[in-house]
């Protein structure tokens, strides 16, 4: 992980983002010598991980009935702007 000053990061922000996006580089941004932030590539994600996690559990057969019961109890509010 490379160190970069906050001033340098501000002045070269577009180049910094290019390095992160295209070369998978990571940076520690320092202000006054103290680490303030980490800038690194965002991790890719998808719903597949969540789906696999949910598949590990037995479905609750009462869930749909409970959900419908809650929906019946909901009321909508109409907050229109006055003319």
- Give me the residue spans of the domains in the chain: 2-39
Q: Label residue 47 by pLDDT band (50, 70, 90).
A: confident
Banded pLDDT at 77 (limits 50, 70, 90): confident
The three-state (H, E, C) secondary structure of 55-83, written as one string: HCCCCCCCHHHHHHHHHHHCCCCCCCCCC
Contact (Cβ atoms closer than 8 angstroms) between residue 9 and residue 15: no
Full-prediction pTM beyond 0.85?
Answer: no
Mean pLDDT check: name the lowest of 19-23, 36-40, 65-69.
Answer: 65-69
Higher pLDDT pick, 55 / 77: 55
CA angle (41 as vertex; 35, 46 as ends), nearest 5:
135
CA 40 to mean position of chain CA atoms: 14
């Amino acid at each position: 992980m490379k160190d970069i000053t906050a001033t340098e990061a501000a002045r070269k922000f577009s180049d910094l983002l290019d390095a992160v996006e295209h070369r998978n580089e990571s940076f520690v941004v320092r202000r006054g010598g103290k680490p303030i932030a980490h800038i690194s590539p965002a991790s890719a994600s998808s719903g597949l991980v969540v789906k696999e996690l949910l598949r590990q559990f037995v479905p609750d057969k009462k869930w749909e009935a409970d959900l419908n019961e809650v929906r019946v109890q909901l009321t909508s509010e109409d907050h229109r702007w006055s003319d």
